[in-house]
Amino acid sequence: MLTVSGLTKSYRSGQDSVAVLRGVDLALAAGESVALTGESGSGKSTLLHLIAGLDQPDQGEINYGDVTISRLTDAERAAFRRERLGLVFQQFNLIPSLTVADNLAFQSRLAGRHDAAWHSELIERLGLGRLLKRYPEQLSGGQQQRVAIGRALAVKPTLLLADEPTGNLDEATADDVLALANDLVRRTGCGFLMVTHSERLAATLDRRVNLHAGLIH
């Protein structure tokens, strides 16, 4: 479903170039959940951004089935992301002028894939019922995180990409949220790639890969 091959990425820092990814290979099957671990600064967020098509690699390819991300135009890439990917990044990127209810439904409506029953289930299971009329600035960090997760799941994505999605949540809520994501994976056969520093959460996924010195081990 997702195949990443030979991915390299360097950043310029003054005169120097710092190689963050040095030839990353990774494959994810449909319905598979994978934890991505690695020390701080090892390039986990960089890899997720590349997989989401938000940034371009120096070398290497990212394929979703027969779609090669680098061969899409910017507009095609944006449409692909909107329709096929669920993204939960460290900045939640909620839309400040929209209520929680509209933030949750925005992407699925744009993609023409709004499912009222699934939407209600997400609200219930993420405990967002009493927050629907609020605006993002009126929410705590953990509440914003739950909305960001709900929005990503609402489209029933082909691949859910999450960068420490439960970082602001207490243990019990984190467990509930992961159970919900794992449920989606089981029910829809989507892939799930999650960056986490938590051994406990990594152990709830099918497999774990570690990013070290620019390579996946």
Ligand X SMILES: Nc1ncnc2c1ncn2[C@@H]1O[C@H](COP(=O)(O)OP(=O)(O)OP(=O)(O)O)[C@@H](O)[C@H]1O
Residue numbers of the site for ligand X (CB under 6 A)?
A: 11, 20, 38, 40-46
Residue 41 or 127: the one with the smaller Cβ distance to ligand X is: 41
Residue 27, CA distances (Å) to 21, 23, 46, 78, 148 in order: 16, 13, 17, 22, 25
Q: What does the alpha-carbon distance between residue 91 and residue 94 come to, in Å, rounded to a whole number? A: 9
Rounded least distance, CB 68 to ligand X, Å: 22
CB-CB contact of 111 with 176 (8 Å): no
Tokens (6 digits) for 128: 């967002």
Rounded least distance, CB 102 to ligand X, Å: 29
Q: What does the alpha-carbon distance between residue 151 and residue 85 come to, in Å, rounded to a whole number? A: 11
Residue 12 or 130: the one with the smaller Cβ distance to ligand X is: 12
Rounded least distance, CB 163 to ligand X, Å: 7
**Residue type for position 179:** A
Residue 141 or 189: the one with the smaller Cβ distance to ligand X is: 141
**Residue type for position 37:** T
Residue 130 or 217: the one with the smaller Cβ distance to ligand X is: 217
Nearest of 62, 74, 81, 77 to residue 9 by alpha carbon: 62
